[in-house]
Structure 1
Amino acid sequence: MNDRTAEKEREIQKEQKPSFRHLLRLFLYVFRATKGISCIYLGLFVLLSFLRPLIAEIWGRYIFVVENAGNRVTEAALMLVLYWGISFAADLLESYLAPEGGGDFEQLDMVQANRQQELFKVHLLKKVNSVSPEYLEAPVMKDRMCQVFDFAGDSWNGINRKVMISGYVVVAKVISVLTIAAALYLYHPLLSILVLLAPLPTLYSVSLGEKLQFRFVKESTELQRETEYFEELLLSPAEKEIKTLGLHDFFYGKWRERADAYVIRQKKLIRNRALLQIVNSLFYNVAHVGGMVLAILLLAQGKLSLGAMSAVFAMTGTLITDSAQLIRAFGSFQAQKNRAAQFFDLMDLKEDETLESEKVSLHRAEAKGVKYRYLLTTRYTLNGVDFTLHPGEKVAFVGENGAGKSTFVKLLTGMLSPSEGTLLLNGKPTEELHPESRFDAQSVVVQDPTHYETFTLYENVFLGETHQRYEEKAIERALAFSGLSALENKLLGKYVGGTDLSGGQWQKLAIARAAYRNRDLIVLDEPTSNLDPLAETEIFEKYNSLAKDKTVIYVTHRISVARLADRIIVFKNGKIEEDGSFNELMQLKGEFARLYEVQSQWYDR
């Protein structure tokens, strides 16, 4: 039988071979996303590329006029004023553009970077939301997303500076270099050839430096993530438990070990790139001096006037600078092809099929020979499950840890898709239903609910149904249902200056959110693990009374609570071991009865 998980594995493991087309595609992708500011920025770079050779030509003309002054003092003065005026404009413009990051004013590229990050991350977040949630189960996908988001947000080594600004510089400097080279060629062909060929070794060294940077990022992502995890652990509320267990030194050692390893790799990268920069500077200065010596020799031979030599000096310096910037920018640009390919590895992931979203209500769910294994693993968590869920049933899923209960719930709720077998909802295969339609048809409470801090208590409940009008009375009823009616409607989250809730209160808040959502299918995946048995029983009893004709699935480890359900499903080793009412399963004296006896001993002591 076709293993659908294998298809997803091939999809997430597929890596495109880096090529220059990925860079062009990425440049155009970002340019289209930020048309306005990108056009302004590119236009300013091109304008600057024309101003520098113009300044050199005006300076040469000024020297020529001064050399042959006579009665042309006014013309010389005008030339000087024009020279300083255009130079000031060029310097001001370069300070704003600051392609090398050394501008004196607030850099325009920071404005673009912030705007690009905002618009760019909109596309990234939409993409992440459009792919199957199952992809997020794979660590390789988490690493890829982390690297792509870092590339988008890094102000120094990210998309803005390394791709967009480098791309602008390439376009502008090509115009500048060709213009100046043509002018120098008219003075003497050797002048343009010398200064154009000399910086070429820079292309190789820059490309090599960027490859070293990419390899460092790719190989250090996991190490950096582990370092950040242990640092956050030592600074989080978990530090209280860490101190009481005497684990501070242990976790500090883990953090220090990884931080040191990361720093060693980073030092090696910085050292190698510094050596490459020294080589670049050497070639740059040799070419500059060579151009000046050649101009002096031509002057001595009478092939250049003093004014022409002054213009050549200025143009040579500008051409050397622009050639070096062009090659450096092109090297930096083309070296990003690995990261560009990595970006499109994410963006080209197959999305959930574009099906028409429609309002659905669960009438019947049926699993036929369903198997499931998590991405990039070989063991089947579910191994041939046959199950039918009827509308209005109150069903409890029980079993030991790892038996497959929560995995099967994820399949029913659309977070995962069967590796093999068929899962039908209302008689239709789940792949024919729009994911959003499935999500919209259910209320789900998980074991470890998200703590939505920076929101008030009432806003936290409202998150359960943001597509409808905010109804305070309905929110208050949901809070009363979950046992939180005594809490004040205040901002939540200790670290944002709000109220701190206990683990049990956060779980009750998630239950209130599900009650406010009010769907035909209610899934409670161990939502009361932080509550005492009496509170858990009360919650389930309330859901039974609230649900009435709704379908409810309980996932619980507390066997005593399962007796509240109409039907109990016992999972064992990835299969349904038993199926029946509480009394029927107790009479079987099988797995359920064994679990019940084991747990009842704790209460009989």
Structure 2
Amino acid sequence: MKRKDKDKRYGILKIFRKLTPHVIRCAPCSFAAAQCGMALYGIVLGLTTVVTQRFFDAASAYAGGSGPDQAVFLLGALVLIHILSQLLNGATYVFLEALVQRIDGRLSIQYHEKTGRLSPEAFEDTRMLDFLEKAKQGKSNAVWFVLSIFLVFTYYLPYYAVMSAYLSSVRPVLSLSLLLVFVPTVLGQFLRAKLYARLEDGTAPVRREADHYERCMTSQEYFKETRNLGAFAYFYEAYRDRIGRLSRLSFAVSLRSNGIELLLKFLSLLGYLGVLWIMFLSLMRREISVGMFAAVFASVGFLFSFMEELVNGHFGALVRNYGTVKNYLDFVEMPVQEKWGEKVTADTDIVLEHVSFSYPGTERKAVCDVSLHIRAGETAAIVGENGSGKSTLVRLLTGLYAPQEGTVSYRTDGEKRREAARKSNAVREGISAVFQNYSRYQMTLRENIAISDTRRGYEDTLLEDCCEKAGVEKGSGVFPSGYETLLSREFGGIDLSGGQWQRVAIARGFFRRHDLIVLDEPTAAIDPLEETRIYEQFARIAKGKTAIIVTHRLGSVRLADRVFVMKDGGLAEEGTHEELMRLDGEYARLYWAQEKWYSGTDGV
């Protein structure tokens, strides 16, 4: 976060300098061609005024009795220049739009690649989630941010260079009057940049909340329960509140921004009137021809509208998008821990020594000073009440999370391989896991299962084996198109029950090649009898491999070689089922509490 705070001092030009290589690398040839086209268009527009002045002079001379040849020739040249300028305008902007789409797609890929390299615990940090939201907004604006600045040099600057040279040839003071128009407006845009940067920092978290409340009202994920609970009005009011806050923040900034713009536009108006006054006096003193006055008078209006487009359009967009693009640049330059690709094999022991972990933004330790040793080929069960730290411990064991204290070690054939805590945040090859909060991918059944290990391919024999083990009945009426059944009602497919989705998730875990497999309470929506069948199947699959079962239902724990009992983030007990029952401690208390519950249920 310190780096991010430091980057808040970035100015527009510094961001442009740092961001340009990222944009150009996406499509270097197309980018160069677009800039050349814009430069040619700017020069042609500037030459239009020169040819117009000469045409007016030739027409005036023809009216005075001269021959028509020069006037006709210049008229033809003027028509051709206008046609050429329109062709260049249309072709260049079509090309630019295609270029923007291409570069935006590449930047999106880079954004998601960078996001994929973040450690999983980063997504538990609300500050990081706000940062990612701001970076995502900036990604969409980054392309035009860079292009807008390039357009100043390749499109507007050539035009103003031609016009300044022409006006200087008429009266040198005219080119100076352009500065009186241009400088105040540009200065105003830079002053507004800081206002919009602060606005983006303030609105990003509120916008993320508003998006969440909107999903609660409208998305398939939430709307059934929202309507069933009668909570629509609650989310609607919460959404209105966040939108209102966004509007108030934006209005306050717009008020100050428009005040600055109004003041500086007055100075620009003085410059505009100054040009017209100088031209009028020059005409009255016969220092310029009528044709020159007409050409300059006609072009001055276009010149100032052109300048308005540059300053309020492109510079205005730069100012408004400055904050979001700065956040995207911060994200691009943020250092990311490289993944550590240690492979877990069938003979790998997992050792935790005095491991502690706290989620970002909290002081409470979800796991506190835990030391344990899971031997290669062993089936271990981790049990405990809700909130005892079971799932967090599993994420530390598998390397998803990095401990703040202690070490996670992997020992193979007696050789100890210890990685520092900060390097243990990668999902290692040879590990498969089915977590309690599994994902419901809106894809086909085949893709939902095979996505866990795409290197194995999508062969039916592999899929059938995993589906049979997990209890996914492909041949039943549930999946009308077999493995090609789309599991998404939103996209014209079907939806599954909670239990059916859990079986698909378990099949996904079985499909991945592994020497260590983890089941983190994935059977919560499955009845106890089916759960017992799955765990028995799991025990057979896990023979010769290391397996970890996380559960709050203790009936399946007998399948484990050893049981680790978590309580309040710490390791309370360790041993076999029989040893822990004889100990008559926390495990026995949980076991008898469940026994009493099921006995009472059966008796009702």
Q: Residue 53 of structure 2: which of 53, 56, 60 is its match?
A: 60
- Deviation string, structure 1 residues 269-302 (Cα, Å, up to 9, x no partner): 5555556665565555443332122112112222
Structure 1 pair 432/221, CA: closer, same or farther in 2 (3 Å)?
closer
Moved more, 46-55 or 251-260: 251-260
- Deviation string, structure 1 residues 314-344 (Cα, Å, up to 9, x no partner): 4544543444444443465467554443223
| Separation in 2, partners of 1:214, 1:521 | 48
Match of 2:507 in 1: 512
Matched, 1:131 2:118: yes
Structure 1 pair 243/326, CA: closer, same or farther in 2 (3 Å)?
closer
Q: Residue 535 of structure 2: which of 534, 540, 546 is its match?
A: 540
Q: Residue 111 of structure 1: which of 98, 106, 111 is its match?
A: 98
- Deviation string, structure 1 residues 177-218 (Cα, Å, up to 9, x no partner): 233212222221211111222232212332344444333332
The answer to whether the 8 Å contact 1:173/1:326 transfers is yes
SS of the counterpart of 1:287?
A: helix
Match of 2:562 in 1: 567
Match of 1:411 in 2: 396
Structure 1 pair 334/169, CA: closer, same or farther in 2 (3 Å)?
same
- Deviation string, structure 1 residues 138-191 (Cα, Å, up to 9, x no partner): 1111111111112223xxxx2233332343234422232233212222221211
| Separation in 2, partners of 1:299, 1:127 | 63
Unpaired runs of at least 5, structure 1: 1-8, 99-106
Matched, 1:424 2:413: no
Question: What TM-score do the two structures reach when normalised by structure 2?
Answer: 0.89
The answer to whether the 8 Å contact 2:148/2:315 transfers is no
Match of 1:167 in 2: 150
1:112 is displaced (CA, Å) by 2.6
Matched, 1:240 2:224: yes
Q: Residue 255 of structure 1: which of 233, 239, 248 is its match?
A: 239
SS of the counterpart of 2:368?
A: strand
The answer to whether the 8 Å contact 1:162/1:332 transfers is yes
Match of 2:129 in 1: 142
| Separation in 2, partners of 1:321, 1:246 | 54
Over the matched positions of the two proteins, sequence identity in percent amounts to: 29
1:268 is displaced (CA, Å) by 4.5
Structure 1 pair 236/71, CA: closer, same or farther in 2 (3 Å)?
closer
1:531 is displaced (CA, Å) by 1.2
| Separation in 1, partners of 2:387, 2:123 | 20
Q: Residue 176 of structure 1: which of 155, 159, 164 is its match?
A: 159
Q: Residue 443 of structure 1: which of 423, 427, 432 is its match?
A: 432
1:542 is displaced (CA, Å) by 0.6
The answer to whether the 8 Å contact 2:398/2:428 transfers is yes
- Deviation string, structure 1 residues 467-490 (Cα, Å, up to 9, x no partner): 123210110111111111234221
| Separation in 1, partners of 2:378, 2:255 | 67
Match of 2:449 in 1: 461
1:591 is displaced (CA, Å) by 0.8
| Separation in 1, partners of 2:378, 2:6 | 43
The answer to whether the 8 Å contact 1:360/1:441 transfers is yes
| Separation in 2, partners of 1:277, 1:81 | 42
1:386 is displaced (CA, Å) by 0.9
Match of 1:550 in 2: 545
Letter aligned with residue 137 of structure 2? D
SS of the counterpart of 2:428?
A: helix
The answer to whether the 8 Å contact 1:226/1:258 transfers is yes
Q: Residue 593 of structure 1: which of 581, 588, 591 is its match?
A: 588
1:255 is displaced (CA, Å) by 2.3
Moved more, 44-53 or 164-173: 164-173
1:60 is displaced (CA, Å) by 0.9
SS of the counterpart of 1:568?
A: strand
SS of the counterpart of 1:467?
A: helix
Letter aligned with residue 119 of structure 1? R
Match of 1:103 in 2: none
- Deviation string, structure 1 residues 407-445 (Cα, Å, up to 9, x no partner): 111112121111111111132224599879843211110
The answer to whether the 8 Å contact 1:195/1:319 transfers is no
Q: Residue 85 of structure 1: which of 80, 83, 91 is its match?
A: 80
Matched, 1:29 2:29: no
Moved more, 490-499 or 182-191: 182-191
Within a 5 Å distance, the mapping from 1:46-57 to structure 2 comes to 46-57=39-50
Letter aligned with residue 291 of structure 2? G
Structure 1 pair 392/11, CA: closer, same or farther in 2 (3 Å)?
farther
- Deviation string, structure 1 residues 365-400 (Cα, Å, up to 9, x no partner): 111111111223222222211111111111000112
RMSD: 2.6
Matched, 1:345 2:330: yes
Structure 1 pair 109/448, CA: closer, same or farther in 2 (3 Å)?
same
Letter aligned with residue 234 of structure 2? F
Match of 2:462 in 1: 474
The answer to whether the 8 Å contact 1:395/1:565 transfers is yes
The answer to whether the 8 Å contact 2:450/2:463 transfers is yes
Structure 1 pair 504/280, CA: closer, same or farther in 2 (3 Å)?
farther
Structure 1 pair 511/577, CA: closer, same or farther in 2 (3 Å)?
same
Match of 2:490 in 1: 495
The answer to whether the 8 Å contact 1:443/1:514 transfers is yes
Moved more, 133-142 or 385-394: 133-142
The answer to whether the 8 Å contact 1:18/1:338 transfers is no
Unpaired runs of at least 5, structure 2: none
Letter aligned with residue 241 of structure 1? E
Structure 1 pair 413/15, CA: closer, same or farther in 2 (3 Å)?
farther
The answer to whether the 8 Å contact 1:67/1:307 transfers is yes
Question: What TM-score do the two structures reach when normalised by structure 1?
Answer: 0.89
Match of 1:306 in 2: 290
Structure 1 pair 354/492, CA: closer, same or farther in 2 (3 Å)?
closer
Letter aligned with residue 445 of structure 1? V
